[in-house]
Amino acid sequence: MVERDAYARAMDGDDAEGGGAARSRNQSQSALAPAKLLALFCATSIVVYTDRGIISSAAVSGVPRSIDVPRGSGLQGALDASYSAYGALTAAFMIGLLCGCPTFSALARDVNPFRLISYGLMLYVIGEVGCAVAPSYWFMFACRCLVGVGEASFVSLAAPFIDDYAPPARKTLWLATFYLCVPFGVAFGILFGGAVAPALGWRAPFALNACCAAPIAAYCFSSPPVRMRGLVASSSRASSPAPPHAMSRSASTILGAFIKDCRKLAQFKLYAYVACGYSFYTAVIGVYAVWGPKAGYAIFSNELSSPTNADMVLGGVTVLSGILGTLFGGFVVDTFGSTLPNALRTCACAAFAGFIFLEIAFRCSSFGMFLLFFIAGEMFAFVLQAPINAVVLWSVEPRLRPLACGMTTVIIHLFGDVPTPPLFGHFLERRGSPTPERWRAVCAGFTLLLVVSACILGGASVVAKTAVDYRRVDDDADDDDGGGGGGDDDDDDDGMSDSGIDHARLMPQYSL
C-alpha cells in the first residue's frame, strides 16, 4: 500500500507546481533524461542478450562425447549433451520466458515497472550463477529456465517506456537503437565466450555476465518510479489513499483481469497478423543464433581453423550486420513516414531480401563469397527488428502495450525459436554424423521460413491501411478509462510528445 501510494504521488507530483519558472526549469532538466533512460535499457539489453551468445559460442558449447573424443569438450562434454540435447538446452530459457512475460505484464498494473524489472534481473543473476556451477544437465536446464523468467520482466516492460519518452520524430530510430542491442548482445556473447572459455573454462563467461547484471538490478531496484502511459492512476485517483487491498489482490482476481485483457488483445486484427509473421521470422533467427557458429565452423573448418575463430568471425559479422540492419530499418521508417503500412512493407521487403542473400550464401563454396552474402542477408534480416516491434506497440491500446510485448514474446518463441533449434539438431543428425553438405542443406531449408514471414507481413500491410494507430490516444483519457480514443495535437514547444506525455513535467521526477 505504501509503495502504491508513493508510486501514484510520483506520477502526478508536479501537478501542484505552477508558474513559468517551474516549467522552464523542468524543460531544461528533461533534455538528457529520456536519453539516459534509453542508455539504461540499452545497457541492460546488451547484458541480457549476452547470455544467448555465450551459450551459442562454439568454444563454450564444445562437442559431445563420441568414440573419437571420449570426454567431449566444453558444456556438451561436461554435461554429456548430444546435439539434440544441446538444442533443447539453448531453448530451455524460453520456458521461463513464456511463463514470466504474461505474469510481469499483469503485475505492472499494481507494481512499479522499474521495480518489476529489478526483480526479474535478480532472478536472471541467480540463473546465470547457476549455469556457471551446474553439476548436471538437468540442473543446467533448470537454471536456463530461471534465466528466462528473469529476462521476461525486461522484455515486457522496456519497449513501452522507450515508446513513451522518445522524441516524436525519432520514435522508430530510438526503438531501433534499443533493438540493435539484441544482435549486438548476442554477437558480443559469442565473442566473449570464444575469448574467455579457452582460457578460463566454459563456466567462466556465465559467472562474469552475472557480475555485470547485478549492479543494473540494484540500480533499477533503488530508482524512483517512471510513469508508463496507460498503467498509472489519474490525478483524481492519485490524490486519494490507495485501498488496503491494492497491493494484495487475490491470484484469481489478477488471473481474471489477465484473461480479460488477453481477449481484448486478440481482437486487434493487425496485432494478430504481425505476431504470426514475427513468429516465422524468429524461427529462422533462432536457428542462426544457436547453430550459426557451429554451422560456419563445420562448413568452413579449414578456413576458420578452430571453434574460437568461428566465434570471433561470425560474431563480428553478426555485430556488423545487426547494427547496420537495425538502424537502417528505423531510419527508413522515420524518413519515409512512420505509418503502420510503411513499417510493415519495410518488414516484408527486408524479410524476402534476407532470404535471397542467405540462400545464396549457403550455396557458395568460397569462404569470402559466403561472408559477403551472409553479411548482406543478416543485415536485411535485422532490418525488421525496429519496425515490427514498433507496430506491436502502435497497433494496440496504450494500457495493453506491456501485455502486447509480453504475449508477442510468448508467441514468437513458442512458435518460433523454441521448436526450431531442437528440430534443426534432429534433422542434422537424422542420417548419422553431419557432413558439411548436410549442414548447408539444413540451414538453407530453415531459411525458407523467411518467405512465409514476408508473405504474412505483406498481407498485414494491407490490413494496416484501415487499422487504428494508437500513438495518438489521449493520455488523460487512457488513464481514466483504460482505453482512450481521441487524438492529441502535438505541441513541441510545450515538450509534449505524440504519445501525449509531457517529458518536461514527468522525467525530472525520476533522477535517471
Q: Is the domain of 188 the same as that of 85? A: yes
Say whether 396 sits in a helix, a strand or coil. Answer: coil
pLDDT in tens, 374-407: 999 999 999 999 999 999 999 999 888 888 988 8
| Span of 35-49, 303-317, 345-359 with lowest mean pLDDT | 303-317
Q: Residues near 366 by Cβ (< 8 Å), separated by ≥ 6?
A: none
pLDDT at 45 over 50: yes
pLDDT at 499 over 80: no
Position 474 scores a pLDDT of 52
Which CATH number covers residue 390?
1.20.1250.20
pLDDT at 20 over 80: no
Split at pLDDT 50, 70, 90, the class of 501 is very low
Split at pLDDT 50, 70, 90, the class of 65 is confident
Please check whether residue 368 lies inside any domain of the structure: yes
Q: Is the domain of 325 the same as that of 224? A: no
What would you report as the CA-atom Rg of the chain, rounded to the nearest whole angstrom? 23
- Please name the helix (run of DSSP H) or strand (run of DSSP E) that holds residue 493, with its range, or none: none
pLDDT average, residue stretch 271-295:
90
Position 473 scores a pLDDT of 57
pLDDT at 6 over 70: no
Position 303 scores a pLDDT of 87
Expressed in angstroms, the distance from the first to the final Cα of the chain is 24
Identify the CA nearest to 453 among candidates 318, 327, 279, 303: 279
pLDDT in tens, 74-126: 888 888 888 888 878 877 887 888 888 888 887 877 777 778 898 999 999 99
Q: Is the domain of 288 the same as that of 341? A: yes
pLDDT at 25 over 60: no
Distance CA 100, CA 106 (A): 10
Q: Is the domain of 325 the same as that of 219? A: no
Cα–chain center distance at 209: 18
Q: Is the domain of 73 the same as that of 192? A: yes
Cα–chain center distance at 116: 16
Higher pLDDT, 258 or 125: 125
Say whether 483 sits in a helix, a strand or coil. Answer: coil
Percent pLDDT > 70 in the chain is 81
Cα–chain center distance at 395: 18
Higher pLDDT, 441 or 319: 441
Position 249 scores a pLDDT of 56
Q: Is the pTM of this model over 0.75?
A: no
Please check whether residue 304 lies inside any domain of the structure: yes
Q: Is the domain of 115 the same as that of 208? A: yes
Q: Is the domain of 163 the same as that of 292? A: no
Burial of 492 (0-12, 13-18, 19+ CB in 10 A): exposed
Split at pLDDT 50, 70, 90, the class of 184 is confident
Say whether 497 sits in a helix, a strand or coil. Answer: coil
C-alpha cell read off for 448: 525458407
Percent pLDDT > 90 in the chain is 35
Please check whether residue 267 lies inside any domain of the structure: yes
Higher pLDDT, 134 or 413: 134
pLDDT at 27 over 90: no
Q: Is the domain of 391 the same as that of 432? A: yes
Split at pLDDT 50, 70, 90, the class of 9 is very low
Burial of 367 (0-12, 13-18, 19+ CB in 10 A): middle
Q: Is the domain of 89 the same as that of 198? A: yes
**Residues composing the chain:** 512
Cβ contact 228:14 at 8 Å: no
Split at pLDDT 50, 70, 90, the class of 217 is very high
Distance CA 152, CA 408 (A): 11
Cα–chain center distance at 488: 29
Could you tell me the sign of the dihedral formed by the alpha carbons of 248, 152, 385, 43, in that order? positive
Identify the CA nearest to 191 among candidates 377, 63, 49, 71: 49
Residue 260 backbone dihedrals phi, psi, to 5 degrees: -60, -45
Position 64 scores a pLDDT of 82
Distance CA 287, CA 314 (A): 14
Position 418 scores a pLDDT of 79
Q: Is the domain of 285 the same as that of 429? A: yes
Identify the CA nearest to 105 among candidates 150, 145, 157: 157
242-254: string of b/e by CB count within 10 Å (b at 16+)?
A: beeeeeebeeeee
Split at pLDDT 50, 70, 90, the class of 3 is very low
Give the end of a domain, one of 230, 252, 287.
230
* DSSP-assigned beta bridge partners for residue 496: 502
409: left (phi over 0), alpha (psi -120 to 50) or beta: alpha
Position 509 scores a pLDDT of 34
Indicate the number of domains in the chain.
2
Domain extent for 360: 261-471
Higher pLDDT, 19 or 213: 213
Q: Is the domain of 273 the same as that of 213? A: no
Split at pLDDT 50, 70, 90, the class of 472 is low
Please check whether residue 493 lies inside any domain of the structure: no
pLDDT at 166 over 70: yes
Contacts 24+ apart (CB under 8 A), 374-377: 374/317, 375/317, 375/320, 375/321, 376/321
pLDDT in tens, 341-360: 999 999 999 999 999 999 99
Helix pair angle (401-412, 251-266), 10° resolution: 80
Give the end of a domain, one of 176, 209, 230.
230
pLDDT at 199 over 50: yes
Q: Is the domain of 383 the same as that of 291? A: yes
C-alpha cell read off for 266: 486478440
Please check whether residue 492 lies inside any domain of the structure: no
Please check whether residue 327 lies inside any domain of the structure: yes
Q: Residues near 120 by Cβ (< 8 Å), separated by ≥ 6?
A: 100, 104, 149, 150, 151, 152, 153, 154
Position 279 scores a pLDDT of 96
pLDDT at 272 over 50: yes
Mean model confidence pLDDT for the chain: 80
Q: 66-80, 218-232, 375-389: which has the highest mean pLDDT?
A: 375-389
Please check whether residue 71 lies inside any domain of the structure: yes
Show the DSSP H helices in 399-467 as ranges: 401-412, 420-429, 436-447, 449-463
Higher pLDDT, 413 or 47: 47
Split at pLDDT 50, 70, 90, the class of 46 is very high
Give the end of a domain, one of 208, 230, 252.
230
Please check whether residue 38 lies inside any domain of the structure: yes
C-alpha cell read off for 287: 536457428
Split at pLDDT 50, 70, 90, the class of 457 is very high
